Structure 1
Amino acid sequence: MRRFLLSTLIFLTSGTIGLAQQSELVTLQTRQDSQGWEGVGRLDIANKGFCTASLIRDRLILTAAHCLYDDNGSLMSPSRFEFRAGLRSGRAEATRRISRVFAHPDYQHEGNGADPEEVALDIAVLELSQPIRTTRVRPYQIATHPITGDEVGVVSYGRGREEAPSLQEVCSVLGRQTGVIVMNCDVEFGSSGSPVFVVRNGQTKIASVVSAMAQVDGQKVSLGTSLDGPLSTLLAHFAAFGPASPGGTQRIMTLGERNDTGAKFVSP
């Protein structure tokens, strides 16, 4: 999880929109608590730490693209990742190794800094070595992007809450800019890649992926990636590579160039 200081890049006007009262984080400690959230898991990264990821197909998980990169800026081998769906107190509903990793084709990893375009494309899919097909762990559907004032929820792992996921059932979208969603959801280091949920037509769907923490006028906020457009592009490129070769191989997509605005988030 990266932390940035937002200044004039994203404009938020206090008190101009009606926002729901934030709910507190609830640790999903029991099987009953976790019902419906088993598709969210901890993405363990050997010799680095962990992120959060969620199942969107029986063999595909969604997370933040920056989770795929080592401290030196290189893309990590799939062998360093392991997905533990519904992990609670050392036990997971399903555990899978990773065969291939795919960042958004236009994502550029900046390391210590980031600009709005990086956050807007900060998504990746990882292909599991074996599909997850159980009645308890089901893939999530994707929703259209949330708008300012929408209520959303986040399920995440994070520093100090590594052993069980935490649910914040209600937080709010404060604003949007060029594919970046600004929220008041409570996230922490390790929460990168966490799914941001909305309820549409009675179904819980993923509407964004947590990318970073930030500050606006001294207030902690979270930044998410809008999935409209970027996820379709990412999945199309994933499909273009076809089935994995025996044993799995690492593939990174580098198609296309990004127009750089030069605007940067500044690390506090």
Structure 2
Amino acid sequence: MRKTWYGGARIGLSSIALLCAAISVLTPPSFAQDSQDLPGILGTDNRKPIDSSAWPWSSIGRINRTAGGFCTGTLIATKFVLTAAHCMYDSRNGRPLAAQEIHFVAGYKRDDYVAHSIARNIHVADDFEYGTANGEALSNDWALVELVNEIPLKPLSVHEFAREGEKLKLPEGASILRAGYSQDRAHLLAAHSGCSVEGTAESGRILLHDCDATRGDSGSALLLKTQDGDYRILGVSVAVRTYGAQDYGVAVPSVNFREQLSTRNLIP
């Protein structure tokens, strides 16, 4: 049985690594460790630093936790941030974090940022179960952080998938990318552009992709760039998992949470 990382605590699971950075003191803003030692770097490391002060990157931010560590989140409304559900728990003891323990910093870059707010409420997917690494838990690994203060930035839209049976159909000619705050470059936003969705699992409730993402990138959005230059959230990056002999990035597709967001009047 292979040892993997779950929120920073090493446990015995056969085929999954969640990507929450669970240390609070981090290396300087350079790649201080070999990227091949990091889970989720699939082959060549294709992450590149990107200007976090310009949209859409300014609407992506670091989710800092007073319990230690951080994740990545994306504004979908001026007071709501989309992220991974497992980021809302203390990895040392499985305790759900209180809202006041969460601080969202949008457009973060070293000692600078665009906007910030602590959380007012945390809304975790109803069927998410922390500490369970099966496909059902992964498919529900998303959460909304409701902020105390509005963030005066343009949110990112949530993609509405078309289905073909268990398949999720992507628009033709679309470009796929992912951007987040990685543990080894904790103070700079980095993106992998030109990656791809490789398929689905769990009856279409999980997206498999080859975008590089490692610890700290949990909760980051898998993005679709349309031909007219718009950006849409395809899903939430949560883990790396082995299917057969191949490692894939795992994302919760927007089809799993779009209806709930619409019911709450957070998206059209």
Is the CA contact 1:186–1:221 (under 8 Å) kept in the aligned structure 2? no
2-structure distance, mates of 1:194, 1:161: 15
Q: Which residue of 2 aligns with 1:160?
A: 184
Cα distance in 1, alignment partners of residues 236 and 117 from structure 2 = 21
- Contact map agreement 2:182 2:215 (CA 8 A) in 1: yes
Which whole-Å deviations, capped at 9, do the CAs of 1:12-62 have from their partners, x for residues lacking one? xxxxxxxxxx8821112574xx44310000000112200000000011000
1:10-21, aligned counterparts within 5 Å? none
The Cα RMSD (Å) is: 2.8
TM-score, structure 1 normalization: 0.73
Contact 1:51 1:193 (C-alpha < 8 Å) held by counterparts: yes
1:172 aligns with 2:191: no
> In structure 2, what is the equivalent of residue 144 of structure 1?
160
Which residue does the alignment assign to 2:136?
117
Which residue identity is paired with 2:215? F
In structure 2, what is the equivalent of residue 47 of structure 1?
67
Count of residue correspondences: 219
Higher RCO structure, 1 or 2 (CA under 8 Å, sep 6+): 1
CA distance in 2, matches of 1:43, 1:35: 18
The DSSP-based 3-state class of the residue aligned with 1:139 is coil
- Which residue of 10, 27, 31 corresponds with 2:49? 27
Query: More strand per residue: 1 or 2?
Result: 2
Unaligned residue ranges in structure 1 (runs of 5+): 8-21, 240-268
User: CA 1:154 to 1:220, structure 2 compared with 1: closer, same or farther past 3 Å?
Assistant: same
1:227 corresponds in structure 2 to 254
Q: How far apart, in 1, do the equivalents of 2:144 and 2:52 lie?
A: 28
Aligned to 2:104: 83
TM-score normalised by L of structure 2:
0.73
2:95 is equivalent to residue 74 of structure 1: yes
Could you tell me which runs of 5 or more consecutive residues in structure 2 were left unpaired when the two chains were aligned: 8-12, 17-43, 162-167
- Which residue in 1 is equivalent to 2:117? 96
Amino acid in structure 2 at the alignment position of 1:38: S
Distance 2:256 2:244 in 1: 30
1:156 corresponds to which letter in structure 2?
G
Instruction: Confirm or deny: 8 A CA contact 2:52 2:189 kept in the other structure.
Output: no
